Structure 1
Amino acid sequence: MAQKIYLPNGMEAIQAEYNTFPLEEFNQNPFIQALPLLADKTTIIKKLAVEPSFSESERDMDSIYRLHMVERLYQFYQPLPIHLDIWDMIHSLLIQGYLARNPFDIDYRRYQNESGKQIINRSYEINTRLNFRTTAGCGTLIGFSGMGKTTSTNRVLSNFPQIIVHNEYNAQNFNHIQVVWLKLDAPSTVSLKALCLQFFMKVDELLGTNNYKKYVSRNASVDMMLPLIGQLAQNIGLGLLIIDEIQNIKKRGADQIMNFFVSLINSGVNLAIIGTPGAYALFGNELRIARRVTGNAEIIFNNMDLNNEFKLLLESIWKYQWTKTYTPLSDEIISVFYHHTQGISDLVVKLFIFTQKMVIKNKKEHFDVEDIRRCAEDNFKLMEPMLDAIRSDNPYKIAKYEDIRRIEKTSIETGEHKTRKISDEENLKAEVNNKLVDISTKEKKSKRLAYEEEDLRLLLKKGVEEEKSPYELLLENGWIDDMAHWNEDSAYD
Structure 2
Amino acid sequence: MSTQQSNRVTAVYRTTTLLAYQGNPLIEALPPLNSFIEDLSALRGSLKCTPEEIHLNGVERAHSICRVIDDFFQPLSQHIQLHERISLMIRGGYVGRNPDTGDWARHIQNGYERVLSGDLKAIKFTEVNSTAQSMTLIGCSGNGKTTAMKQLLSLYPQVIYHPNMNLEQVVYLKIDCSHDGSLKEICQNFFRAMDRALETSNYEKQYSMRKRLSIETLLAAMAQVANAHALGVLIIDEIQHLSRSRSGGSEKMLNFFVTLVNTIGLPVILVGTPRARKIFEADMRSARRGSGLGALFWDPMDEGREWKALTDKLWSLQWLQKRDEVLSGEIRALWYDLSQGVLDIVVKLFVLCQLRAIATKVERITPKLMKQVYEDELRPVHPMLAALRSDDPEEIIKFSDLKLSDTDKRLLELQQRVALSTQQTPEEFAYQQLRTDEERRVYMALKDDFNSKLLAPIIRQIFDQNPSLTWIRLLPLVHEYLNNPELSKPKDNPKKPKSTGRKASVKQTEWHTLDSDDLRFIYSQTDSNSEIYPAISKSGLVLNIQSLLEEAS
TM above 0.5: yes
Query: What is the rounded CA distance, in whole Å, between the counterparts of 2:255 and 2:120 in structure 1?
Result: 17
- The number of aligned residues is 392
- Give, in angstroms, the shift of residue 346 of structure 1: 1.1
Query: What is the rounded CA distance, in whole Å, between the counterparts of 1:224 and 1:392 in structure 2?
Result: 47
Q: Pick one of 167, 192, 195 that aligns with 1:176.
A: 167
What's 2:66 paired with? 71
Q: 1:212/1:280 Cα in 2 relative to 1: closer, same or farther (>3 Å)?
A: same
Code of the residue aligned with 2:257 in structure 1: it is F
Structure 1 residues not aligned, in runs of 5+:
6-11, 169-173, 405-493
What's 1:13 paired with? 8
2:323 alignment partner, SS class: coil
Query: What is the rounded CA distance, in whole Å, between the counterparts of 2:255 and 2:242 in structure 1?
Result: 13
Code of the residue aligned with 1:283 in structure 2: it is F
- Give, in angstroms, the shift of residue 206 of structure 1: 3.4
Do the aligned residues in 2 keep the contact of 1:137 with 1:292 (CA within 8 Å)? no
2:398 alignment partner, SS class: coil
Do the aligned residues in 2 keep the contact of 1:126 with 1:227 (CA within 8 Å)? no
Deviations 1:142-182 (A, max 9, x none): 101011111111111122111111023xxxxx222111111
Q: How does 1:150-161 map to 2 (within 5 A)?
A: 150-161=146-157
Q: 1:342/1:384 Cα in 2 relative to 1: closer, same or farther (>3 Å)?
A: same
- Give, in angstroms, the shift of residue 21 of structure 1: 1.4
1:223 alignment partner, SS class: helix
Query: What is the rounded CA distance, in whole Å, between the counterparts of 1:356 and 1:245 in structure 2?
Result: 30
Q: How does 1:215-226 map to 2 (within 5 A)?
A: 217-226=210-219
Q: 1:231/1:340 Cα in 2 relative to 1: closer, same or farther (>3 Å)?
A: same
- 1:386 and 2:381 aligned: no
Larger deviation: 116-125 or 240-249?
116-125
Do the aligned residues in 1 keep the contact of 2:383 with 2:399 (CA within 8 Å)? no
- 1:98 and 2:94 aligned: yes
Question: Looking at CA atoms only, which structure, 1 or 2, has the larger radius of gyration?
Answer: 2
Q: 1:381/1:214 Cα in 2 relative to 1: closer, same or farther (>3 Å)?
A: closer
- 1:195 and 2:193 aligned: no
- 1:87 and 2:83 aligned: yes
What's 1:409 paired with? none
What's 1:232 paired with? 225
Query: What is the rounded CA distance, in whole Å, between the counterparts of 2:400 and 2:212 in structure 1?
Result: 36
2:380 alignment partner, SS class: coil
- 1:354 and 2:358 aligned: no
Q: How does 1:320-335 map to 2 (within 5 A)?
A: 320-327=317-324, 328-335=326-333
Do the aligned residues in 1 keep the contact of 2:118 with 2:216 (CA within 8 Å)? no
What's 2:234 paired with? 241
Do the aligned residues in 2 keep the contact of 1:87 with 1:156 (CA within 8 Å)? yes
2:73 alignment partner, SS class: coil
Query: What is the rounded CA distance, in whole Å, between the counterparts of 1:297 and 1:56 in structure 2?
Result: 47
RMSD: 2.5
Q: 1:60/1:19 Cα in 2 relative to 1: closer, same or farther (>3 Å)?
A: same
Whose helix fraction is larger, Structure 1's or Structure 2's? Answer: 2
Query: What is the rounded CA distance, in whole Å, between the counterparts of 1:286 and 1:128 in structure 2?
Result: 30
What's 1:268 paired with? 265
Code of the residue aligned with 1:210 in structure 2: it is N
Do the aligned residues in 2 keep the contact of 1:27 with 1:33 (CA within 8 Å)? yes
TM-score (norm. length: structure 2):
0.66
- Give, in angstroms, the shift of residue 376 of structure 1: 1.3
Q: How does 1:61-460 map to 2 (within 5 A)?
A: 61-74=56-69, 75-113=71-109, 115-117=111-113, 119-120=115-116, 125-126=121-122, 130-168=126-164, 174-207=165-198, 208=200, 210-214=202-206, 217-252=210-245, 253-265=249-261, 266-327=263-324, 328-403=326-401
- 1:57 and 2:52 aligned: yes
Deviations 1:366-389 (A, max 9, x none): 232222212211211121122112
Q: 1:292/1:38 Cα in 2 relative to 1: closer, same or farther (>3 Å)?
A: farther
Query: What is the rounded CA distance, in whole Å, between the counterparts of 1:284 and 1:359 in structure 2?
Result: 47
Q: 1:111/1:395 Cα in 2 relative to 1: closer, same or farther (>3 Å)?
A: closer
Q: 1:201/1:403 Cα in 2 relative to 1: closer, same or farther (>3 Å)?
A: closer
Q: 1:369/1:26 Cα in 2 relative to 1: closer, same or farther (>3 Å)?
A: same
- Give, in angstroms, the shift of residue 108 of structure 1: 4.6
Do the aligned residues in 2 keep the contact of 1:51 with 1:77 (CA within 8 Å)? no
Do the aligned residues in 2 keep the contact of 1:107 with 1:131 (CA within 8 Å)? no
Q: Using CA pairs below 8 Å that are at least 6 residues apart, which structure has the higher relative contact order?
A: 1
Deviations 1:250-306 (A, max 9, x none): 442333222211111121111111111110221123234323433124211111121
Query: What is the rounded CA distance, in whole Å, between the counterparts of 2:132 and 2:222 in structure 1?
Result: 15
Q: 1:334/1:33 Cα in 2 relative to 1: closer, same or farther (>3 Å)?
A: same
What's 2:29 paired with? 34
Do the aligned residues in 2 keep the contact of 1:179 with 1:238 (CA within 8 Å)? yes
What's 2:517 paired with? none
Code of the residue aligned with 1:113 in structure 2: it is Q
Structure 2 residues not aligned, in runs of 5+:
403-553
- Give, in angstroms, the shift of residue 90 of structure 1: 1.4
Q: 1:213/1:354 Cα in 2 relative to 1: closer, same or farther (>3 Å)?
A: closer
User: Deviation above 6 Å: which 4+ runs of structure 1?
Assistant: none
- Identity, % of aligned positions: 34
Query: What is the rounded CA distance, in whole Å, between the counterparts of 2:222 and 2:48 in structure 1?
Result: 43
- Give, in angstroms, the shift of residue 354 of structure 1: 1.7
Code of the residue aligned with 1:377 in structure 2: it is E
- Give, in angstroms, the shift of residue 18 of structure 1: 0.7
- Give, in angstroms, the shift of residue 204 of structure 1: 3.3
